């Protein structure tokens, strides 16, 4: 087995399940040490026991501003450096806007936008000082197409897509790469609030992507030569109709 990330240290938020877990597992298999960040302590412990010493659990509630601010110091305390940061943690609200709970809107926008921006802000000084680093953000196909069944979620991903493009332009001069992976519907718990008929239709048609398939794309992005940045990858099931 090749280990193209041997010697590198990565951190992944929302690492206990879904895309975050698949991303962390792919990086571990590629030879990296990985800090797995999530608020679900039991899930992190179970995963890290399976993966050995290279998997480092970091239990953190990113929606707690005080705790969120400790992310980078705690990563450095555990590993001494950071080469790869995958801002993956997020949540989903689907359905008609008029039916949405405004408290849930606040929570989702905070996690999908504010937390990502704060985490990247806190990671940048370390990477700029080292003049090397990769920052990846989990976007969504919804960042590129106004999906009518999830206007709040889509708006959050449009905002983060803009953030990725603008920050990349600020930091490439420091040797940093910034990119987003934007999958179509992925078979994770985030789809739990899809309309039941929409989810059933997608499953029956094979119109879902698996988390491991997204992780393969993330690994491709990370293993390109340093002079090459894969800025955006949009991936979806071949027969997904948009």
Residue 242: the pLDDT is 57
Question: 68 vs 95, 136, 153, 199, 218, CA distance in Å?
Answer: 29, 18, 22, 33, 24
Residue 166: the pLDDT is 98
Establish if 16 belongs to a structural domain. yes
Residue 186: the pLDDT is 87
Establish if 242 belongs to a structural domain. no
pLDDT in tens, 17-64: 999 999 999 999 999 999 999 999 999 999 999 899 999 999 999 999
Of these residues, 153, 158, 163, 194, which one is catalytic? 153
Which stretch of 99-103, 177-181, 182-186 has the lowest confidence by average pLDDT? 182-186
Q: How many domains does the chain have?
A: 1
Residue 231: the pLDDT is 94
pLDDT in tens, 183-195: 988 877 666 666 6
Residue bearing tokens 């080292």: 130
Contacts with 94 (C-beta within 8 Å, 6 or more apart), sequence order: 149, 150, 153, 193, 194, 195
Q: For all residues of the chain together, what is the average pLDDT?
A: 93
Is the CB of residue 90 less than 8 Å from the CB of residue 14? yes
Where residue 118 sits, what CATH number does that domain have? 3.40.50.720
Residue 192: the pLDDT is 65
DSSP state of 242: -
Establish if 240 belongs to a structural domain. no
Residue 205: the pLDDT is 75
Residue 202: the pLDDT is 73
Establish if 2 belongs to a structural domain. no
Q: What is the dihedral of CA 167, 168, 171, 175, to 10 degrees?
A: 160
Residue 227: the pLDDT is 96
Mean pLDDT of 203-222: 90
Nearest to 192 by CA among 153, 148, 241: 153
Mean pLDDT of 93-122: 96
Neighbours of 126 (CB within 10 A): 16
- Cα–Cα distance, 96 to 128 (Å, whole number): 42
Establish if 3 belongs to a structural domain. no
Q: Does residue 145 have an active-site annotation?
A: no
Residue 14: the pLDDT is 97
Query: Which range of residues forms the domain containing residue 131?
Result: 9-235
Nearest to 24 by CA among 60, 54, 59: 54
Residue 234: the pLDDT is 95
Establish if 116 belongs to a structural domain. yes
Residue 165: the pLDDT is 96
Nearest to 23 by CA among 226, 180, 231, 216: 216
Residue 34: the pLDDT is 98
Mean pLDDT of 210-219: 95
Residue 194: the pLDDT is 63
Is the CB of residue 223 less than 8 Å from the CB of residue 136? no
Mean pLDDT of 168-197: 86
pLDDT in tens, 116-168: 999 999 999 999 999 999 999 999 999 998 888 899 999 999 999 999 999 99
Is the CB of residue 132 less than 8 Å from the CB of residue 115? no
């Amino acid at each position: 087995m090749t280990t193209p990330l041997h010697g590198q240290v990565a951190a992944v938020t929302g690492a206990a399940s879904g895309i975050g877990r698949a991303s962390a597992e792919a990086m571990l298999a590629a030879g990296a040490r990985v800090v797995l960040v999530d608020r679900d302590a039991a899930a992190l412990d179970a995963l890290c026991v399976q993966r050995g010493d290279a998997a480092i659990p970091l239990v953190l509630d990113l929606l707690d501003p005080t705790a969120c601010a400790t992310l980078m110091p705690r990563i450095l305390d555990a590993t001494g450096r950071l080469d790869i940061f995958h801002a993956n943690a997020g949540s989903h609200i689907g359905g008609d806007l008029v039916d949405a709970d405004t408290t849930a809107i606040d929570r989702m926008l905070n996690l999908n936008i504010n937390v990502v921006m704060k985490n990247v802000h806190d990671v940048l000084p370390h990477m700029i000082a080292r003049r090397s680093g990769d920052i990846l953000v989990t976007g969504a196909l919804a960042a590129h197409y106004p999906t009518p069944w999830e206007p709040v979620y889509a708006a959050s991903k449009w905002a983060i897509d803009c953030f990725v493009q603008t920050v990349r332009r600020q930091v490439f001069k420091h040797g940093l790469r910034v990119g987003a992976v934007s999958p179509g519907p992925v078979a994770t718990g985030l789809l739990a609030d899809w309309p039941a008929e929409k989810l059933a239709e997608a499953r029956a048609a094979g119109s879902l992507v698996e988390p491991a398939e997204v992780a393969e794309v993330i690994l491709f992005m990370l293993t390109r030569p340093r002079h090459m940045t894969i800025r955006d990858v949009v991936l979806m099931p071949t027969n997904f109709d948009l």
